[in-house]
Amino acid sequence: MLPAYEELVAWLPELLAGLTISLQVAALSLLFGMPLGLLLALGVIARSRILKTVSLVLVEIGRGAPALVLLQFIYFGLPATGLTLGSFTAAVVALAWNTGAYTSEIIRASLQSIPRGQRDAAEAIGLTGVDELRYVLLPQALRVALPPLLGFSILIFQGTSLCFTIALPELVSRAYEIGSGTFRYFPVLLAAGCLYAAVSVPAAILVGHVEKRAGRYAER
């Protein structure tokens, strides 16, 4: 059942190339998605009605629909509007949207967790709304949000596996291709699983530590 050594050596370059694409898609999605999440979080709590509604709709769809459906909506659906994206771009757009929606909720919750007195004090010393956010609220909120944001980053990395469905040559696609070529599905998929776990498990352990430390910080 297990892959033979020679097989592994033969597959590894292909699988690693896939892993690289998975990591690239994840990194870019987070890079665009997290700032988007911040903007959406601010949009949802904004006073402007239009801003609020637009942000809410983007957030609710981005988290309410499965990432797989978002991906297919953008890759297979958008061309109808004349906008055709390559599978890599479509993957980044969909996962960044998904990231933005989730992280906006994380950031919003962490903003709300900051004691009311911090706002009072910031306003009492005359800081404007923007300065209050920039110097008082966000630095504290992001510290609270860090562990869940890191945890979500792992999910997005795993979420890149969905790009199999839009023919992006990431890790699962490559493993599946090797499997259908050699009919050695189990060993090659298992190898791909090990590569995912090799990234996700240490990352999850790390996040666990950050979480514990953040908990200690909060107690002080």
Q: Binding segment for other proteins among 10-18, 31-39, 44-52, 64-72 (CB under 8 A)?
A: 64-72
Nearer to other proteins, 52 or 158 (CB): 158
What is the C-alpha separation between 63 and 105, in angstroms, rounded? 9
Alpha helices by DSSP H, 125-165: 129-131, 138-159
Q: How many residues does the chain have?
A: 220
- Should residue 64 be labelled a site residue for other proteins when binding is judged by CB under 8 A? yes
3-state secondary structure of 85: coil
What is the C-alpha separation between 75 and 104, in angstroms, rounded? 24
- Should residue 25 be labelled a site residue for other proteins when binding is judged by CB under 8 A? no
Binder among 10, 17, 31, 79 for other proteins (CB under 8 A): 79
- Should residue 158 be labelled a site residue for other proteins when binding is judged by CB under 8 A? yes
- Should residue 12 be labelled a site residue for other proteins when binding is judged by CB under 8 A? no
Burial class (CB in 10 A: 0-12, 13-18, 19+), 83: exposed
What is the C-alpha separation between 65 and 63, in angstroms, rounded? 6
- Should residue 89 be labelled a site residue for other proteins when binding is judged by CB under 8 A? no
- Should residue 220 be labelled a site residue for other proteins when binding is judged by CB under 8 A? yes
Q: What are phi and psi of 45, to 5 degrees?
A: -95, 5
- Should residue 133 be labelled a site residue for other proteins when binding is judged by CB under 8 A? no
What angle do the packed helices 185-219 and 138-159 form, to 10 degrees?
A: 170
Binder among 190, 210, 211, 214 for other proteins (CB under 8 A): 190
Q: Which residues are near other proteins by CB under 8 A?
A: 1, 60-61, 64-70, 72-73, 76-81, 115, 117-118, 120-128, 131, 135-136, 139-140, 143, 158-162, 164-165, 172, 175-176, 179, 183, 185-186, 189-190, 192-193, 196-197, 200-201, 204-205, 220
